[in-house]
Amino acid sequence: MAHITVFGGGSWGTALAASAASSGHSVRIWCRREEQAREITGSLRNPDYLPDISLPKGISATSDMEEAALFSHYWILALPTQTLREVLPHITAFCT
């Protein structure tokens, strides 16, 4: 079982996280908003983007980029193109 970080808590990021968790991996989703991260972790649902989907166990979320980056060696970028320029410099600070 791998630890995987998904940067992006939208519908695409949530779907990719669900797929990885369904395969037995431990997944951490990075969300911009703390309240969204709490909702995903607490209820295993992402009502803002996939309201009718129950997420599998093995998923948690955080709005702390460092926590998300250090969670795993495997990162999935599921961010809107328009936010990449803003977010990537922060993520690359954690590359080794």
What letter does residue 31 receive in the DSSP assignment?
Answer: -
pLDDT averaged per 10 residues, the chain (length 96) = 98 98 98 98 97 97 98 96 92 87
Q: Which domains does the chain have, with CATH numbers?
A: 3-92 (3.40.50.720)
Question: What is the maximum span of the chain, computed from C-alpha positions, in angstroms?
Answer: 38
List of residues 6+ apart from 92 with CB closer than 8 A: none
pLDDT of residue 96: 73
What letter does residue 63 receive in the DSSP assignment?
Answer: S
Predicted model pTM? 0.95
The total of other beta-carbon atoms located within 10 Å of residue 20's CB is 21
pLDDT of residue 14: 99
